[in-house]
Structure 1
């Protein structure tokens, strides 16, 4: 993975999406002095069957902020698109381009936009829609003739996105090696999603989180000589 950058913006559909894929890499990046911000397209209000959406949104927002803090991320924003029925198209692209212009990252991170997870498990509409929109918005953000109204809001074009990195892709091209401390922070970060994990599994959140995080890192290890790593599909720009 490229190392010559300072600012990253991670854009995903739901609270916990980053913790299931990229948090160990985020921990490594922030510990080395890089700036990482999170943008959530929804508040995950449709994600807990036993909790009404308004309460789930409140709980999941709080869990996401706590989770981000564990890996050194203090900037967490939400767009309030509807969980489960995110609409692709110009409006979503505009929102994402605005965020990219505001944060001015060199690296943009998102989650698997492909139809499946490795060819067997069907990916959700929200993941597919947001991932594709992120890839488009990275270009939109730099074009002054697209979303011209954003300049009037003080959001000048930003053509500085050099890469979009897709976590959880079934077609990885690059990997970020992570250390023991990065792994521990990633496990703790996912475990912060306590209400979500408790509704999903009978296991204690910390144990559940450890198995999920280490399983993902081990899957990428063949690309790094057996060392734990977070895999990405990297799309260079420019």
Structure 2
């Protein structure tokens, strides 16, 4: 007779453990964890991971993004709900886009959300991190998306030059000196290069803006998320690269998105 496994935690016990760990929405989180666990032993493991401070999305293995269930693996940047504003801006500005690129794609959430909303599109995503690339491939597979591994535009097929209608670049934009001030969930559990944007947080954004004019189609748009404080410098980076630039602000989410395109 096989040894008995650990007794199952009751829903009340899960809620109590999460609340004691400081989880503000303990009841909601408990419901997700209980739904994800297949055995009492797995439930205990998932609760212990969350109590230890691991992001809920990594504990249960997925994040909700614009109504989609996006798989997120350990070691991959967790998509933020505020980034839904970037997707909304892209759809509003290029509603008939046919070629979409999700640069610095992480889990591929932005590309998947754009493809789901636009209908049949040619979707490409790219990231320098092989773990993110593997994760994104699963998330964009339903849209026949292709995911490329490499550093920014160097990862993309050359035939995309001059054809990209939506270039979504959710680049890392936390200044190096402020990474240590991030919540522990991000600081301790997400890859540093998905967070650290250099001395002022705009190193990667400047690189993207500098090359974007060679990849955008006439009427195409580059969209990058940034902070309120960084937005003026981000606009300068766009205009110095020869792009038009404006900042859109999501009043509900406090998201700031710089939108640029080719002049004329």
TM-score range, shorter chain: 0.3 to 0.5
Per the normalisation by structure 2, the TM-score is 0.40
Q: Higher relative CO (CA 8 A, sep ≥ 6), structure 1 or 2?
A: 1
Q: TM-score, normalised by structure 1?
A: 0.43
